[in-house]
């Protein structure tokens, strides 16, 4: 998580305009009193990279606004004595917005930021203010009980409507074309215990109509050539986060090291259209537990067990997660009940079942859970010819 403000010599301010806004109809627990600011907690390196799950573009936007307008209300993010909740879009959210604005996936995070900055410093400032809800911090437990709540934001006169369905928290804004932002449940309660708390979201909240009908993704050519391998290998070290893709990345690299001409190599070729359903680290950990009867001690231990199945078996499992052909976006997948997908593993298919917003993928295993698409991890690499969707279990091509 990156919001590189610390150490930049920014002055602190109480930003009275932010404090004055209130939360409407939101259940709340007693406020915490720690004074670590969100800036101090989220600060890391302030450079762009290839990881869509952190906050480099948001960081650059905040810094750009404060450089141009030192007394901007956005400065409140550096003052931990001012209670607030921030909904913070990750880099992938900004990249998707740029794709929708321009019709083309940005070549890099720097490119995405340049397009965002071109909206004008006042517009960027308003967008940032719209992501801040002044008042006692809203924790995720409260948010999950807040269906129908209306939040007054730091941008005067602008509100956010909360819709909760199960564990999906959607935030309605003013752009009728852009996707409705959803809270990323693996990135909630950032800075918990303090007066300022943040929750990651998968799309940018827009306080005005930014997209034109022609900007819509519908019918847009998915002709970017950034490969899924480039996205996955942006972070290829094990950690303790079950919601990312370290183990599948390690498996791909292991197969390509042992078999350089494996069909899995297609994931490195961004000019070859495909859709990949990629299991999270938690999905692989659950598979290992099912195979061994024991919970793995770490992601490294999980990968070791998976690799122990043999390189050919791992290769086949990976191929089975790839569907060649034009990228399938989540909107299409939600309409695909009953579809049968031919995979890159010859003779093996995946059956799609859709019930409401639940997308299940039927495989060949009779004992393991049926994999489901994780709606907060869809359309990864959107705008390119290769797109991925996170899933909560490993697809198995055998019984």
Residue 304's Cβ-side half-sphere holds a number of Cα atoms within 13 Å equal to 8
* Within a domain: 397: no
Cα separation, 275 vs 389, in Å, equals 8
β pairing state of 159-165 and 168-172: antiparallel
Is residue 4 in some structural domain?
Answer: no
Helix, strand, or coil here: 288? helix
| pLDDT score for 335 | 86
**Looking at residue 382, what is its pLDDT?**
87
Q: Does the structure show a pLDDT above 90 at 44?
A: no
Within this chain, do residues 245 and 123 fall inside the same structural domain, yes or no?
no
35 and 178 inside one domain: yes
On whether residue 293 sits in a domain, the answer given is yes
Q: Which of 157, 192, 215 is the last residue of a domain?
A: 215
Helix, strand or coil for residue 377?
Answer: helix
Average pLDDT in the 269-280 region?
A: 94
Do 179 and 318 have their domain in common?
no
**What does the alpha-carbon distance between residue 202 and residue 293 come to, in Å, rounded to a whole number?**
35
311 has a pLDDT exceeding 50: yes
Q: Quick check: is 299 in a domain?
A: yes
- How far apart are the C-alpha atoms of 173 and 156, rounded to whole Å? 14
The whole-angstrom separation of Cα 389 and Cα 394 is 12
Number of H-type helices and E-type strands within the chain = 13, 13
304 and 161 housed in the same domain? no
Q: State mean pLDDT over 354-374.
A: 92
Task: State yes or no: pLDDT of 6 exceeds 70.
Answer: no
Q: Is residue 292 part of a domain?
A: yes
Q: How many domains does the chain have?
A: 2
Please give the residue range of the domain that contains residue 338.
228-391
Write out the two tokens for 98: 């740029």
Specify if 308 maps to a domain. Answer: yes
Under a CB-based contact definition with an 8 Å cutoff, are residues 116 and 124 in contact?
Answer: yes
Reduced to 3 states (helix: H, G, I; strand: E, B; else coil), residue 318 is helix
Q: Are residues 234 and 265 in the same domain?
A: yes
The more confident residue out of 209 and 44 is 209
Domain annotation covers residue 6: no
Considering only 2-6, 197-201, 350-354, 371-375, which range has the smallest mean pLDDT? 2-6
- Cα separation, 223 vs 112, in Å, equals 17
Q: What percent of the chain has pLDDT over 70?
A: 88
User: Is the pLDDT at 208 greater than 50, yes or no?
Assistant: yes
Residues 41 and 167 in one domain: yes
Share of the chain above pLDDT 90, in %: 63
Half-sphere exposure of 36 (CA within 13 A, CB side): 12
Residue of 393, 392, 353, 397 whose CA lies nearest to 167: 392
Q: Among 187, 215, 243, which residue terminates a domain?
A: 215
CA distance linking residue 374 with residue 372, whole number of Å: 6
Dump pLDDT digits (tens) for 342-352. 999 999 999 99
Q: Is the pLDDT of residue 27 over 50?
A: no
Q: What is the dihedral of CA 152, 157, 163, 169, to 10 degrees?
A: -60
Shared domain for 254 and 363, answered yes or no, is yes
Q: In the predicted model, what is the mean pLDDT of residues 334-360?
A: 92
- Which pLDDT does position 189 carry in this prediction? 94
Is 375's pLDDT higher than 90? no
Is pLDDT of 218 > 70?
no
Residue 1 in domain: no
Model pTM score: 0.55
Asked whether residue 182 falls in the same domain as residue 246, the answer is no
Cα(10)–Cα(189) distance, rounded to whole angstroms? Answer: 25
Would the pLDDT of 216 be above 50?
no
Q: Give phi and psi for 187, each to the nearest 5.
A: -135, 50
Which of 138-147, 191-200, 326-335 is least confident?
326-335
H-state helical runs in the chain: 16-19, 38-42, 56-68, 91-102, 109-117, 121-130, 140-143, 228-232, 246-258, 281-292, 299-307, 311-320, 330-333
CA-to-CA dists, residue 308 to 52, 119, 154, 395, angstroms: 31, 51, 53, 17
Mean model confidence pLDDT for the chain? 86
Q: Are residues 187 and 241 in the same domain?
A: no
Q: Are residues 175 and 26 part of one domain? A: yes
- At 315, which CATH number? 2.30.180.10
Q: Please compute, for residue 283, the number of CA atoms within 13 A of its CA located in the half-sphere on the CB side.
A: 23
Q: What is the pLDDT of residue 78?
A: 86
Residue with tokens 């906050």: 55
Q: How confident is the model at residue 21 (pLDDT cuts 50, 70, 90)?
A: very low
**Residue 192 sits in the same domain as residue 238:** no
Q: According to the model, what pLDDT value does residue 223 have?
A: 74
Kindly state the average pLDDT of the residues 238-260: 93
Q: Same domain, yes or no, for 31 and 140? A: yes
Domain termination residue (choose one: 192, 215, 238): 215
397 near 363, Cβ under 8 Å? yes
């Amino acid at each position: 998580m990156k919001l590189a403000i610390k150490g930049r010599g920014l002055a602190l301010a109480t930003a009275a305009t932010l404090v004055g806004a209130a939360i409407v109809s939101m259940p709340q627990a007693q406020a915490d009193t720690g004074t670590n600011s969100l800036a101090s907690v989220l600060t890391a390196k302030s450079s762009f990279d290839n990881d869509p799950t952190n906050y480099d573009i948001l960081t650059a936007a905040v810094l750009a606004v404060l450089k141009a307008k030192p007394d901007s209300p956005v400065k409140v993010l550096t003052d931990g004595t001012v209670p607030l909740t921030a909904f913070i879009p990750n880099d992938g959210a900004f990249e998707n917005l740029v794709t929708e604005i321009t019709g083309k996936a940005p070549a890099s995070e720097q490119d995405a930021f340049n397009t965002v900055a071109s909206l004008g410093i006042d517009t960027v400032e308003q967008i940032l203010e719209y992501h801040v809800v002044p008042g006692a911090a809203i924790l995720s437990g409260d948010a999950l009980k807040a269906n129908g709540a209306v939040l007054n934001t730091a941008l005067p006169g602008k509100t956010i409507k909360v819709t909760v369905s199960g564990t999906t928290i959607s935030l309605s804004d003013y752009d009728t074309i852009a996707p409705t932002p959803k809270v990323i449940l693996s990135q909630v309660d950032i800075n918990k215990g303090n007066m300022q708390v943040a929750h990651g979201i998968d799309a940018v909240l827009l306080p005005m109509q930014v997209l034109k009908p022609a900007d819509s993704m519908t019918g847009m050519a998915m002709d970017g050539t950034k490969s899924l391998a480039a996205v996955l290998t942006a972070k290829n070290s094990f950690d303790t986060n079950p919601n990312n893709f370290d183990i599948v990345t390690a498996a791909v690299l292991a197969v390509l090291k042992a078999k350089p001409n494996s069909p899995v190599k297609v994931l490195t070729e961004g000019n070859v259209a495909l859709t990949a359903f990629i299991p999270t680290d938690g999905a692989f950990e659950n598979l290992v537990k099912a195979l061994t009867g024991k919970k793995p001690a770490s992601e490294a231990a999980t990968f070791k067990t998976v690799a122990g199945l043999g390189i050919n078996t791992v290769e086949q499992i990976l191929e089975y997660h790839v569907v060649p052909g034009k990228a399938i976006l989540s909107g299409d997948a939600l309409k695909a009940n009953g579809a049968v997908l031919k995979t890159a593993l010859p003779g093996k298919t995946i059956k799609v079942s859709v019930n409401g917003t639940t997308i299940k993928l039927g495989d060949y295993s009779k004992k393991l859970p049926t994999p489901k698409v994780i709606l907060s991890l869809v359309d990864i690499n959107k705008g390119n010819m290769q797109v991925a969707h996170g899933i909560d279990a490993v697809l198995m091509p055998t019984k």
